[in-house]
Amino acid sequence: MITTPLNLNELIKAVSELKGHWVGKYLTKIFISCYRGKKSPVDLRQFCNLDQDNQALFMQIINMRSYSGWSDEALYQAECILKNTVGIK
C-alpha cells in the first residue's frame, strides 16, 4: 500500500470532526503511539472498524516518519492539539 505523507492540519481537522466519536480518540492515540513509541500502546484490531478514509489516515500516521521534513516541535504541537481536542491528558 502506497501512502501519501501525513498532513498534520488534515489530521487535526479529521479528529476535530470526530472528537465525539471513538474514531477521533483512536486516531489521536495512534498518533501518540507513533510519536511517543512503546509508552503509548494501542489496540490495532480496531483498524478493521475504520472506514476507508480513516484507514488511509491511519496508514499515513504509521508512515509519518518515513518522509523527510518532520520536526519534533511540529509533532509535539500536533500532539497537544489532538489531545486537547479529544480530552486526553
- Residue pLDDT, tens place only, 22-70: 999 999 999 999 988 877 779 999 999 999 999 999 999 999 988 888 8
Structural domain includes residue 2 = no
Structural domain includes residue 47 = yes
pLDDT score, position 70: 85
Structural domain includes residue 18 = yes
pTM, 2 dp? 0.90
Structurally, the chain folds into a number of domains equal to 1
| Sign of the torsion formed by the C-alpha atoms of 35, 39, 81 and 85 | positive
Structural domain includes residue 1 = no
Structural domain includes residue 46 = yes
The 3-class secondary structure across 8-34, one letter per residue, is HHHHHHHHHHCCCCHHHHHHHHHHHHH
Structural domain includes residue 28 = yes
Structural domain includes residue 81 = yes
> Which structural domain, as residue segments, surrounds residue 67?
8-86
User: Using an 8 Å Cβ cutoff, are 65 and 25 in contact?
Assistant: no
